[in-house]
Amino acid sequence: MRVVLLGAPGSGKGTQGKAVVEKYRVTDIATGDLLRAEVAAGTPLGLQVKTLMETGELVPDDIVVGMIKEHLAKDDTTNGFLLDGFPRDLPQAETLDAMLKNIGQPLDVVLFFKVDYGEIMKRLLARHRADDTEDTIRHRLEIYEAKTKPLIDYYKNKGLISEVNGIGEIADVSQRIFTILDDIAVARQARN
């Protein structure tokens, strides 16, 4: 199972990604977690991206693409993978397509989390993370609108988008996702 999670910050991608990784035993490649680990460890990369993350700016493509390439190459992705936080824009999506073509692992599905911005603001302010101030959140949502939202059409045109209602109890949202992924797995088995 090769999955990309797409949705605004706070739409539930991280929470649901963990559920998917646990149930389907796929490799978790969450760029936000990887970058926060670099910052926490005080690595040169962490120091380089710390200010960007604190102000809600996107980390430059070359850094993120390099991290993704490294993880796709070194992590055991034979059972599949889950990408959360990548791609963030059309150039990254095209780069990802090329990377996956090179390793013969095309995407199975792009799960798009639909959650209204009022709910997102409430969720993000409640999690009390250092980079979750109201101004930073607003800025991240503006970047999402401009850069990431066009990916919905990009993946729709490829027939890969599945919309997930991201509002409700965590277990209910997980069940909606599992139904989509189970249907994909069944369809793939039928083809083989």
With a cut of 80, say whether residue 76 has pLDDT above it. no
Catalytic residue set: 13, 88, 127, 129, 140
Instruction: Over range 75-104, report the average pLDDT.
Output: 91
- Cis peptide bond upstream of 44, omega within 30: no
Task: Give the whole-angstrom CA distance, residue 151 versus residue 136.
Answer: 22
- Strands 2-6 and 161-165 come out as unpaired
Share of the chain above pLDDT 70, in %: 99
Domains of the chain and CATH, by start:
2-182 (3.40.50.300)
With a cut of 80, say whether residue 8 has pLDDT above it. yes
Q: How confident is the model at residue 18, as a pLDDT?
A: 95
pTM of the predicted structure, to 2 decimals: 0.89
